[in-house]
Amino acid sequence: MKQLVLLASLLLLSWTTTAATPEINIVPKPLLVKPAEGSFTVDAKTTVAAGPDKELLRVGRLFATMIEPVTGHNLPVKRSSANAAILLSVNDDLEEEEYRLTVTPHDITVQGGSPKGVLYGLQSLRQLIVDGGGVVPAVEISDKPFFGYRGAMLDVVRHFMPVEDVKAFIDIVAMHKLNRFHWHLTDDQGWRIDIRKYPDLARVGSIRKETLFGHLRTSSEYDGTPYGGYYTQSEIREIVNYAAERYVEVIPEIEMPGHALGALTPYPWLGCRGEGYNVWTRWGISSDVFCAGKETTFEFIENVLAEVIELFPSKYIHIGGDECPKARWKACPHCQQRMKENGLQNEEHLQSYFMQRVEKWLQAHGREIIGWDEILQGGISKTATVMSWRGSKGGIAAAKAGNKAIMAPNTHCYLDYNQTAEPRYEPLANGKYLPVRTVYALDPYDQLTPSERACILGVQANLWTEYIPDFFHAKHMLLPRLAALAEVGWACDRKDFEDFRKRMSHFRKTYDAAGYNYATYFFDGKDE
């Protein structure tokens, strides 16, 4: 009998302890979590202290706006720690993106290796505040990311996104602790960046006379409506600064040598034919590309990039390199002469010449290039970074050759693909199928030895917008799949899909608090 009483007491004690220490559900998954007893309530009376550091003060104010849906207004943020409940500080013993979050019944402290690390800690705290309606369970969290490069790409060429939508995209990137925004700005369907030396790029190259209606594979109908839009240099600076305030680096992409009709239309001398170009009204790959044989082409590109690097302080400039048909080069006397003069065996080597020449110019101006995995064709320099999109094979080949690589394979990272196995229930999309589980299953180190793995910088999600006409639709495609990719980048060494699924049921409350529309298939169990 005594044994039964003792057993019952132990079971009751176990239940009581469990009840007193609720689960900590954060996305991406933290490195180390130690639940404790009790909780702290964040409400309208809570004060944030950031000390004398102006940057921490700014981070604290940004955090206050994030949790306004719970507190009802922005929390006061001050320098003095007197009577403050949330204490922010930089700890030089931590790495730049590392943070420590400690919640007790008396206060909350957030330390980071830099203000960036503090903001990541506050993003985790934000989730806990929203999840508990202001009641935050006592806990100690030590956390840092697995990969240094964690990105998301937005295509604003196929469908233009106004400045406020781009800022909202950056907010979503920051919420998921991603740190790179890859901005796809030029393509066959339009040129979206104002270049002062070539004003017709924006005035003419940003506008197509109409747009394909329906899916590329099944439709020949067009809407008959001119479509355009571009960003002024002032707007670009505004967006770059907005991203920097959230510790997101903006990497512009200026496509070359293919996907060039946005430039060839206003300036036809850039092409091999020299005439007859129009901004494309459909999707796919145009055979018209920059002429690699004319010196005026490289003069144009260098002049464009000179303005680009003044606008974007990023280490990397993405210069495309994908899907470049070679038919025009084969028929072009200028290109053939270039090949002869430089001893180039074929047109793939001509593309290699083109990309390496642009890379050398950018390096002379303190920048490095990223290119899609086609830049491997014909050979690349040892300093070029490869973004692998046609599966992982390009990134694997780059790493094995000693080049840096970013894994963004369409098999796992293309968020314009359908989210369910029943696309008739979804908005018009690319047509391929990519559920949350598949995004989460990405292995950035697939087929690589330990030494080769050092070449993998990180991962990136891509959102192409052929079938995404506005940002409302974009959010539906991004969320919640972006969270799966973010966990691959932040917590690659501790992934557990079923645990992720459980934590996402809490994280969706943060989407709700921010007012984001998102796809519910994953949460409803209807995506597989």
Provide the annotated active-site residues: 187, 259, 323
> What tokens does 59 get?
């981070």
d(CA 123, CA 136): 13
391: left (phi over 0), alpha (psi -120 to 50) or beta: left
Residue 150 CA from chain centroid, whole number: 7
Residue 508 CA from chain centroid, whole number: 19
d(CA 110, CA 51): 12
SS (H, E, C) 40-70: EECCCCCCEECCCCHHHHHHHHHHHHHCHHH
Distances in Å between the Cα of 156 and the Cα atoms of 281, 335, 525 are 15, 31, 31
Helix or strand (DSSP H, E) at 505: helix 497-514
d(CA 41, CA 111): 19
Crossing angle of helices 115-131 and 497-514, rounded to 10°? 90
d(CA 474, CA 517): 9
> What tokens does 439 get?
């995004």
d(CA 316, CA 319): 9
d(CA 38, CA 404): 46
> Residue 209 is which amino acid?
K
SS (H, E, C) 344-381: CCCHHHHHHHHHHHHHHHHHHCCCEEEEEHHHHCCCCC
What does DSSP say about strands 135-143 and 99-103: parallel, antiparallel, or unpaired?
A: antiparallel
H runs (alpha helix) in 365-496: 393-400, 410-413, 436-440, 450-453, 471-478, 481-490
